[in-house]
A and B are shown apart, each in its own frame.
Chain A
Amino acid sequence: MSVAEERAALASRRWRVGVLALQGDVREHVAVLGMLGVEPVVVRTPDDTGRLDALVIPGGESTTMSLLLRSSGLEPAVRQMVRDGLPMLGTCAGMILLAKEVLDGRPDQISFAAIDVVVRRNGFGRQVRSFETDLDVKGLDEPMHAVFIRPPVVESVGPGVDVLAEVDVPGSPGERRPVVCRQGNVVVSSFHPELSGDGRLHAELLSRVEGD
């Protein structure tokens, strides 16, 4: 555990950090938060959303999560969290849901517009193009091991968005795309730090709660 992670672990025990648990790799996010000393709230219905300090939206299928956000009645609750400026972390499908605009999505899929980025679903292609690599992330001492699964590609970022990491586009020498972005209290990544058990973006999320 890094120093930042240990600090977060000490301070975070009393926080209510939600993990949207309609579909996807919920268990890995719960495990990473547990490593940081947080016992997360698993969010499946509006009854689970009371007094949350932060929300994690996991990887999975963004169109399925969109549909279940509507059918479960969670969509307005999450929109309210966005308006309240709640700290949020979204990985892969979570990035798609938190983005301002989605290309190559379904016309009816939800965009919470919590961060001013435009993303393209499956921007690197189908599963045979999924990959893992090591990335330097701004503010972190050691590189992150990044697992990309049919990842969204960031097409453009708005003026208030910090790009914390970029990746080389496979097959296009010299071309790089943002893969970790932050705006205010919202952090999104195209890849899955939770799949390699890396808690540093989650620690960053928790530091935002501390900031409140």
Chain B
Amino acid sequence: MSTQDGERELDSRSEHRTGTARVKRGLAEMLRGGVIMDVVDAEQAKIAEDAGAVAVMALERVPADIRRDGGVARMSDPALVEGIQQAVTIPVMAKVRIGHFAEAQVLEALEVDYIDESEVLTPADEEHHIDKWSFQVPFVCGATNLGEALRRISEGAALIRSKGEAGTGNVVEAVRHLRSILGDMRKITTADSAERYAWAKRLQAPIELVEEIAEAGHLPVPLFCAGGLATPADAALVMQLGAEAVFVGSGIFKSADPARRALAIVEATAHFEDASIVAKVSRGLGEAMPGKEISSLEVKLADRGW
């Protein structure tokens, strides 16, 4: 990573270094303990900010609608992203298709705060992800297991989220992904030096990153949870499992009372270890989004990404 940083342009007067790994990961550190909410317009973005979101994800359709409508899902219209940027003071993220570096260049030109190279959109490249080191703006990527997480980090991702199964209102896949990532990390911390090479081989990941986990006990970037969260208790569950913040997609604006549910999920995420607070905020929220059994799905979004 230091070689990547070394290529950054230095401000000759004051040596302000932008776009470094530390600066990119730094914003993710600041989002910890918070909720990032999917929004499709400025009005929803305001509701999200009013409810205490730490950031919003600007997109044209929430995953539940992408799933229902089918067709090719692409980056949002820049006008929509700009409308949301003007509506709120918190960070604004937006999604690009896997491998679609030209969409990412557009979002960088718009100065979005984070780019999500997302399996929720239709992949543009079936073999390669974006070289994320070549951007000033930080990237978040999804992962279903530790190998996938480490490959994304080696490509320059500054934040990892579980993929879960977006648009289902069903948290089971997010739990599977978190348990897989965190469980393997716990095993690596007790691996001896020879076993670390076997782990790197098995995970198809760089040995340097495996060594880093073995020493530190956690990923070199923050680990958030996404995919299928619909209730305050879902947020408390994944935070207790070890997620450091949560993304909520369809779960808020597909529910009966989005403003109240958004606030409740924010409070449950902040106080995830305090069941009395989670109980208090969970009362009388109205209907959650209608959920889907994973076995009933025609397309599993989490299978996208390589």
Q: Chain A residues in contact with chain B, CB under 8 A?
A: 21-28, 44-45, 59-61, 63-64, 67-68, 71-72, 92-93, 104-106, 121-122, 125-134, 147-150, 167-168, 170, 173, 192, 195-196
Contacts and interface: CB of A to CB of B under 8 A. Distances in A.
A189 B138 CA distance: 23
Interface in B27-78: 27, 29-34, 49, 51-55
Given A60-B32, A61-B30, A147-B23, A168 B13 contact: yes
A60 B270 CA distance: 12
A127 B30 contact: no
Interface stretch (B106-114, B126-134, B198-206, B248-256): B106-114
B4 interface: no
A61 B54 contact: yes
A92 B32 contact: no
Contacts of A133: 14-17
Nearest to A195: B26
Q: Which 3 A-B pairs have the closest CB atoms?
A: A168-B14, A67-B52, A127-B113
A60 B34 contact: yes
A195 B53 CA distance: 22
18 contacts: A23-B54, A25-B30, A25-B32, A27-B32, A44-B274, A60-B30, A61-B91, A92-B30, A106-B49, A125-B111, A126-B112, A127-B114, A128-B19, A128-B136, A131-B16, A132-B17, A133-B17, A150-B113
Contacts of B90: 61, 63-64
A93 B3 CA distance: 31
Contact of B20 (A59, A129, A132): A132
A154 to B, nearest CB: 17
Contacts of B19: 128
B93 to A, nearest CB: 10
A149 B23 contact: yes
Nearest to A70: B52
A72 B111 contact: no
Interface size band for B? 35 or more
Contacts of B52: 63-64, 67-68
Highest count of chain A CB atoms <10 Å: which of B17, B23, B53, B271: B23
Given A68-B266, A128-B19, A130-B26, 16 more contacts: A28-B29, A44-B274, A60-B32, A60-B54, A61-B54, A67-B51, A67-B52, A71-B263, A106-B49, A127-B114, A131-B17, A132-B16, A132-B17, A133-B17, A147-B26, A168-B16
DSSP majority for the B interface? loop
A105 B88 CA distance: 10
B27 A149 contact: yes
Nearest to A194: B29
Contacts of B55: 61
B7 interface: no
Contacts of A93: 30
A147 B22 contact: yes
Interface in B100-124: 108, 111-114
Interface in B153-209: none
B32 A104 contact: no
B90 to A, nearest CB: 6
A127 B91 contact: yes
Residue of A21, A134, A147 contacting most chain B CB atoms (<10 Å)? A147
Contacts of B148: none
A147 B23 CA distance: 7
A71 B263 CA distance: 10
B18 interface: yes
Nearest to B11: A170
A44 B17 CA distance: 35
Contact of A26 (B26, B33, B137, B266): B33
A168 B16 CA distance: 9
Nearest to A124: B16
A127 B89 CA distance: 12
Contacts of B270: 22-23, 44, 68, 72
Listed residue (B33, B111, B267, B270) with the most chain A CB atoms within 10 angstroms of its CB:
B33
A26 to B, nearest CB: 7
Nearest to A122: B89
Nearest to B55: A61
Contacts of A105: 89
Contacts of A25: 29-30, 32
Contacts of B20: 132
A170 B14 CA distance: 8
Contacts of B137: 127-128
